[in-house]
Amino acid sequence: MGRRRAVITGVGAVSAFGVGYDALANGLAAGRSAIGPIRNFDARTFPTRVAGEVPIEKTSASLLEKHRGVLLHIGEAAAWEHSGLLRDRKVCFGLIAAAEAWRHARCGTAERRAALSIGLGLEQAFLEDFADQLDGDEIRIGAGDLAGPEGVRFRSRVDLTAEKIRGVLGLSGRVAVHVSACAAGGTAVAHAASLIERGAADVVLCGAADSMVNPLGIGGMSRLGAPSPRAEPSACRPFDRRRDGLVVGEGAAMFVVEEEGRARTRGADLLAVLAGSATTQDAYRATAPRPDGSRALAAMERAVRRANLAPSDIGYVNAHGTGTPLNDMAEAKAIRALFGDVPTSSIKGAVGHLMAAAGAIELAACLLPFTRDLLPGTAHFEEPDPECPIHVIGPRPLQRRVEYVLSNSFGFGGQNVSVVLGRPR
């Protein structure tokens, strides 16, 4: 019996370009950027005022109800809204992207045994709820009378999105919630491939959802000094000599991943092969990536090896490329060392840094080389940096046919993941 291989047969996305995978694909193919002023809350006094925000001001029951494939019971979404659950924007994004991927892959009853492997960001904290419990300089929260009224209060639980996707799509397989910060989306997809390859699942719905475009998310990132101080649409310019920080994004990307033989038998469209992946840790500092990029290099090297490929087989690298001075320099060193002059880009200048969902949305972008022979560009890249000696694709996408691509995601805390996708045959 041959090796079991995992293939992608469905994709769904929600991004700053809008709802739906086509919005993302068309936006990237046109070389556009979707970064703009934050609109879902009044950020005028915040140090950061731009984001890769999904163009939806309020996540609501009616938003969910209008999306085909989100199979809701009557009154269910309204009850969620009433309970406060939809205040966490990533719940809606995850549900919509999951439903789109499910529909795109033409999944039905037979696929309901699918496992779910999803990367999710931090709980969303609701500062106004905490304010209600403020007593002097102390917040009084706890069991009993201090628990607050019913519903989602103070913060949303990390696995809420997973719980709702499982319920709405009626999935009966196992659930894994990856919380590897900005590496979570990549690790969730890599995990899905691993489950398929070792026979632990035949179908896995995987991907990630996140939103930190909220007061504490934006405020917390600003305090870290990670976002660009410029409140301009060009705030994030990965690998550019003038880069000065990231732009926070939000959204989701979900995939249906299944065993290749099964997918072919049922006549599913094969979008890409999940050829290999690897994780490593920087084990360096809580506050910065390892400057020599050596553990990122190790992740890329191992992912390529596990795909039974040579570095020269990789035709495009989708970089983590946050637009921060330290990340891009370390990553460029690692890419140069392994791949030389391979065309490389980061889509974070166009959609922002989706945090836990970054790896997933970037893997969705990595389908373009196979579906349209297009390598996505790097929005706002104008001045090459000698400290980043790699072949950076400029703002316009590059028309080229490649057989294999590699996508990097590196998380706060030092978790690295590299995933190799191949053109289906």
Question: For residues 218-237, which are near other proteins according to CB under 8 A?
Answer: 219-225
Closest alpha carbon to 196 in 101, 94, 275 = 275
Residue 354, amino acid: L
User: Which CB sits closer to other proteins, 68 or 198?
Assistant: 198
User: Which CB sits closer to other proteins, 15 or 48?
Assistant: 48
Alpha-carbon distances of 306 from 178, 272, 300, 328, rounded to whole Å? 22, 16, 10, 25
User: Which CB sits closer to other proteins, 322 or 345?
Assistant: 322
For residue 275, the surrounding DSSP H or E stretch is: strand 272-281
Establish if 150 lies at the interface with other proteins (CB under 8 A): yes
Contacts with other proteins, 55-84, as mask; x by CB under 8 A: ------------------x--x--------
User: Which CB sits closer to other proteins, 305 or 396?
Assistant: 305
Count other C-beta atoms under 10 Å from residue 414's C-beta. Answer: 21
Count other C-beta atoms under 10 Å from residue 55's C-beta. Answer: 14
At which residue do the structure tokens 């000094």 appear?
A: 225
Count other C-beta atoms under 10 Å from residue 343's C-beta. Answer: 19
251: helix, strand or coil: strand
For residue 255, the surrounding DSSP H or E stretch is: strand 250-259
Q: Which of 32, 39, 141, 262 binds other proteins (CB under 8 A)?
A: 141
Angle at 118 between CA 51 and CA 239, to 5 degrees: 40
Tokens matching residue 330 = 């370390």
User: Which CB sits closer to other proteins, 294 or 371?
Assistant: 294
Q: Which of 58, 65, 75, 142 binds other proteins (CB under 8 A)?
A: 142
Measured CA to CA, the distance from residue 42 to residue 44 in angstroms comes to 6
268: helix, strand or coil: coil
Establish if 112 lies at the interface with other proteins (CB under 8 A): no
CB 93 to other proteins: min, Å: 17
Q: Please answer whether residues 404 and 418 qualify as being in contact, where contact means their C-beta atoms are separated by less than 8 angstroms.
A: no
By CB under 8 A, the count of residues binding other proteins is 80
Establish if 26 lies at the interface with other proteins (CB under 8 A): no
Q: Which of 232, 281, 313, 403 binds other proteins (CB under 8 A)?
A: 281
Establish if 114 lies at the interface with other proteins (CB under 8 A): no
Q: Please answer whether residues 419 and 277 qualify as being in contact, where contact means their C-beta atoms are separated by less than 8 angstroms.
A: yes
Q: Which of 181, 247, 319, 419 binds other proteins (CB under 8 A)?
A: 181
Show contacts with other proteins in window 301-330 (CB under 8 A). 302
- Across 97-241, the runs of DSSP E, i.e. the strands, are 115-120, 134-135, 138-139, 175-178, 203-211
Establish if 40 lies at the interface with other proteins (CB under 8 A): no
Contacts with other proteins, 156-175, as mask; x by CB under 8 A: -xxx---x---x----xxxx
CB 415 to other proteins: min, Å: 6
β-sheet bridge partners, residue 280: 416
Q: Which of 198, 267, 310, 399 binds other proteins (CB under 8 A)?
A: 198
Q: Which of 130, 244, 266, 301 binds other proteins (CB under 8 A)?
A: 130
Work out whether the CA dihedral 135, 138, 143, 149 comes out positive or negative: positive
Establish if 373 lies at the interface with other proteins (CB under 8 A): no
Establish if 295 lies at the interface with other proteins (CB under 8 A): yes
Instruction: Give the chain's end-to-end CA distance (angstroms, integer).
Output: 19
Catalytic residues: 182, 320, 353
CB 265 to other proteins: min, Å: 25
Establish if 109 lies at the interface with other proteins (CB under 8 A): no
Binding part of the chain for other proteins, among 95-103, 240-248, 282-290, 365-373 by CB under 8 A, reads 282-290
Establish if 44 lies at the interface with other proteins (CB under 8 A): yes
